[in-house]
Amino acid sequence: MLPPIRVAITGAAGNIGYSLLWRIADGSCFGPDQPVILHLLEVPGALERLEGVVMEVVDSAMPLVQGIVATDNARTAFDGVNQAFLVGSRPRGPGMNRSDLVAANGPIFVGQGQALNEVAASDVRVIVVGNPCNTNCLIAQRNARDIPPERFTAMMRLDHNRAAGQLAQRAGVPVSQVSGVAIWGNHADTMYPDVTRATVGGVAATERFEQEWLRGAFLDTVATRGAAIIKARGASSAASAASAAVDHMHDWWFGTNGGVVSMALPSRGQYGVPEGLVFSFPCRVGSGGAVEVIEGWPVDAFCQSKIDQNVAALLAEREAVADLV
Ligand code: NAX
């Protein structure tokens, strides 16, 4: 057995947390030989619910779980953590638009960024899931001045997995036969699922499917999938979001073996995206966890227009939280 790693999950008593905890505890994320100490953060009003969740984790008798910290204090929650899943944030309420949500959730990520900066382990890696995740990630990163910016990422993997799932369904093949999908931009309905380099059952997606579908129903389905799930299920995506967070952190931990994944990370100006914006690019992860934005990806006029649209949206979000970053 390896020495344990400390894994923080914020919003641990929420819907995503309820799926995520067990996937981390059963070794799906960091491997079957990697013990974990779970650090669970909630707001004071949800501590009793969190206590119930902790009881269930104990009752699951998970051999990899070597300790549980449950708290409403960010400094306690992030003390010594190596991996941080920032899931907790305020959901969008009735009548709230995106900028209201940015304004409501921004301050949470100021405090959490500062707490990570002060007490997290020196190798900490962060995924921000709580929406608007790209801008929340930017805020956390800017408030954690001593942590290298590339340790902060936002989750685009659900969009990535949704795109792969749609291609597989359309072709009637298992999703394991889909590769090379990439999501550009913001986790919002402007994001662009790009299949230029995707293959499905060994055939280029651009040959297998009509362009009309790829730029029409496919795009719309992926972009509006969250809303479709809320309509059908009466609740927002939870298990699929937890699964995507596990995929993201698993691939960051183990590497992608040359495969393409979509991660939002602070731009270094790649593809003309303004420096610092937390933007999703096609990425690879090397062994050792170095995330590399893939260079030389073919960007046609359609893709460029989508990149521009997402840059504009993220610049507007950054402007709305200028006092927090
Ligand atoms: P829930 O409302 O079920 O759970 C959120 C939990 O976070 C609650 O228990 C709440 O008490 C807690 N919380 C709120 N503020 C907190 C704070 N400051 N510190 C610690 N905990 C806090 O939402 P859930 O369905 O779990 O979704 C969580 C977040 O994920 C939402 O912001 C949601 O919009 C976002 N999502 C992001 C996705 C992505 O692809 N990036 C997809 C799924 C999901 O919509």
Give me the domains of the chain, ranges plus CATH numbers.
5-154 (3.40.50.720), 157-322 (3.90.110.10)
Helix (H, G, I), strand (E, B) or coil at 283: strand
What is the pLDDT of the chain when averaged over all its residues? 96
Amino acid identity for residue 263 in this structure = M
What distance in angstroms lies between residue 298's CA and the mean position of ligand 1's atoms?
35
pLDDT at 97 over 80: no
Residues in the chain: 325
pLDDT at 91 over 80: no
What distance in angstroms lies between residue 72's CA and the mean position of ligand 1's atoms?
15
φ, ψ dihedrals at 76, nearest 5°: -65, -40
Q: What is the pLDDT of residues 235-271, one digit of tens each?
A: 889 999 999 999 999 999 999 999 999 999 999 999 9
| Beta carbon of 269 within 6 Å of any ligand 1 atom | no
Residues with catalytic function: 187
Record the tokens describing residue 77, joined without a space: 């929650």
pLDDT at 71 over 90: yes
From 9, 87, 109, 152, the mutation candidate for ligand 1 (largest count of ligand atoms within 8 A of CB) is 87
- Complete DSSP assignment for 218-268: HHHHHHTHHHHHHHHHSS---HHHHHHHHHHHHHHHH--TT--EEEEEE--
Mean pLDDT of 168-176: 97
Beta-strand runs (E) in the chain: 5-10, 36-41, 65-71, 83-86, 125-128, 152-154, 178-179, 182-184, 192-194, 199-200, 203-204, 261-266, 278-285, 291-293
pLDDT at 197 over 80: yes
Q: Distance between CA 113 and CA 122 in Å, rounded?
A: 14
pLDDT at 287 over 90: no
Q: Distance between CA 106 and CA 110 in Å, rounded?
A: 7
DSSP state, 320?
A: H
Alpha carbon distances (Å) from 166 to 106, 161, 209: 33, 9, 12
β 83-86/125-128 pair status: parallel
